[in-house]
Structure 1
C-alpha cells in the first residue's frame, strides 16, 4: 500500500506506521483482531478479512460499530440486504476500494474517514441521514444507478482529490457540501432528481469544475454560489429561475460564466433572473429604494427585462386603443375610433393633429387634459419602442 496512511513495518505485523508515526501492534485475545493505540484513548482496529467485518455486523449491539477501523483487505463489499441499525464508520480508514450495493440502510456516519481508493454506492436506499463530515476522499467517489436518499446528506468540510459523481440518483432532502474542497469535478450525471424542500448547499465550497447539466429539480429546489469559489460550471439544462436561487449573486456568477463562454443567450437569461430577484429584494426595501423598484417593475412588465419583444408591441397597441376611446368620447368622434387608435401609435402627433387628419376639421376644441395625457403617453411609447428594439437584439447584444 504505497503512500498509504497505514502500513505494517515487519513480517510478523507487530509494528506499523500510521500517519507517519511508528506504533506497536497488539492482538485482541477475544476477537483475534490486531489493534494499536495511536494517541491516548484512540484505539484503531485492523480489519484484515471479510470474516472480521461480518463478526462486527452480527454483534447484538444497538449500532454496527466500525469506528476507528482500518480496512486493508481487497474487494471490500458491504451489505447486500436491509440494515436497520445505525452504522458508525467514524475515523475509519479504507486502504482499498470499497463498494456498498444492493441494500437498504438506516443512518450511516463517516465522520473524518479516509478513503484511499475508489468508493461506490449503487442501487441503495438510504432511509436515514448519511454523513461524511471532514472526510478525505483520495480517489473517485460514485453514487449511481438508483440510489435514493430519503434523508439529507451531510458532507461538510470534506476534501475530494478526484472526481465526485452522482448519476441516476434521487434526493428527497438537503445535500450539504458547505466549506468543502473539490480539487477536480463535482458532477451530476445521468438522470438525477432533486425533490428537496431544502437546498443544495455549496456555501464556502471550492470546486474546480461543477457539472449541474443533468439535475432535474423540483419546484422547491434551492441553490447558492454566493460564498463559493468555482473555476468552471456546466449550467446547460439547469433552467434555474429566481425561485430556485437563494441570492442574486448566484445569477451574477452564472451570468459571468456564460459571458466568459460567449454564451449570450444564457447570459441574458441569467441577467433576466438576476433582475427579477433584485426586484423582489427591492420590494422589501421600497421605503428606501422606491424609484429603483418601480423602474425595474416597469421593465419587467414591459419586456421581461429586455428579453420579450412581443410585450412592448402589445402594450403600445393596447394603450393606443384605450386612449383613442377617451379621445373619441370627449370629441364626439367615435366614427373614426379605429383611425384615431392607429394614429396614436405615432408618438410625434398631438391629439389636435390626429383629429385634423381623421375628421378633416381645422378648428376643434381639445380638452387640455387630453393633450397632457397624450404627452405622457408619447414618453411611455418612446420607452416601449426602446424596449422593443432592445428585446429584438437579445440574440446579438452583449451584456
Structure 2
C-alpha cells in the first residue's frame, strides 16, 4: 500500500441531477416532430440518436413529453416559435444552479461527517451555461453555513474541460497552504441552450448534452483510514494547432451557440497518445503510451470520442467502462461530467494510477495524472 502522508487529495465527490429525465427515444421523437425539420433532417436525427449510446438524460426543462398546451418553458405552440430568450434561459439557470449546487454540496458534507463546514477556506465554482452576480457561490455560502470569509473563485465559460482548471487551482492552493480546504462546485445546465435550427452541429449538440452538478473536496490532509481518495499528482494542458474553429461556445441571439466540427474526434485521436506520454514524462514507463495506468477517466463527450481514444491508445474494451457508463446514464454534462466518472472510480475502492482527460473549445485538452489510494 502506498504512503498517504503526502500530496494533495481529492477526498470525495457527490453529484446531483434534475429530477426530470428523458429516455433518448423520447428526445428523438420530440426533435423529429418539429415542423421545421424535413425528411433529410429527420433521417439525420435517426442516425445520430441511434449511435449515441445514451439511454437517458436529465434536464431542468420539464416540457418534453407533455402536451403542447402544458408547456411552461417553450411557447405553447407546436412550432415552438418564438424560442425562449437568453434572459429566460438564464433566469432558469439561476434557479436551478442554486438548487443543484446546494444538493451536491449538502451530499458531500454528509459523506464527510468529520468535516466542519466552517473550516472550508476556499470555494471554486465552475459553469459555462449561465451567469449571475451574486452567483451560486454566494448562495452556497449563505444557505449552507459556510464561512462568510471564504475565498471564492469562478471558472467560467471554458467548456467541457473546466473541471480540470478547478482541480488544478485547488491543487495549487493546497500546495501553497497545507491547511487549506477547498470546495469545488460545478453546475452545467446544457439543455437550457437547446435550439431548433436545421443545422447539423446544433442537432448533434441536442442529441448529446444534458444537465448535472458535482461537488468535491480537496485538501493536503491524508485520506481518512479506510476511505479511498484521489491524489492529484500532475496536470497538463494542450491547445491543438489550428483547431480554434473545431469547437466553439458563444453567446447567441437567443441562447449560447455551440459549433461542433465532425473532425473533433479525429483531432483527439491524432494527439491523445502524445498527450498521455507528456503526462508521464517524469515517471518510469514501459515504453508505450499507456504506461502503468490502471484506470482511465476520459470525458465522455460522445461515443465517437471515446471510441477514438480507445483505438489510439490500444485499450482493452472494458478500460473505459466508467466513461461509457456515465455517457449511457447521463449524457454529456459539459465540465461536470468528469466528476461523475471520477466518482464511480472512488466508489470502486480500488487503488492504482489514473489518467484523466477532457476536451473543449480551443480545441483544448486538459489532462491529469492521479492516484487512487486508501487511507
Range of TM-score over shorter length = under 0.3
- Structure with the largest fraction of strand: 1
Q: TM-score, length-normalised on structure 2? A: 0.19
Q: TM-score, length-normalised on structure 1? A: 0.18
Higher relative contact order (CA 8 A, sep 6+): 2
From the CA coordinates, give the structure whose radius of gyration is larger.
1
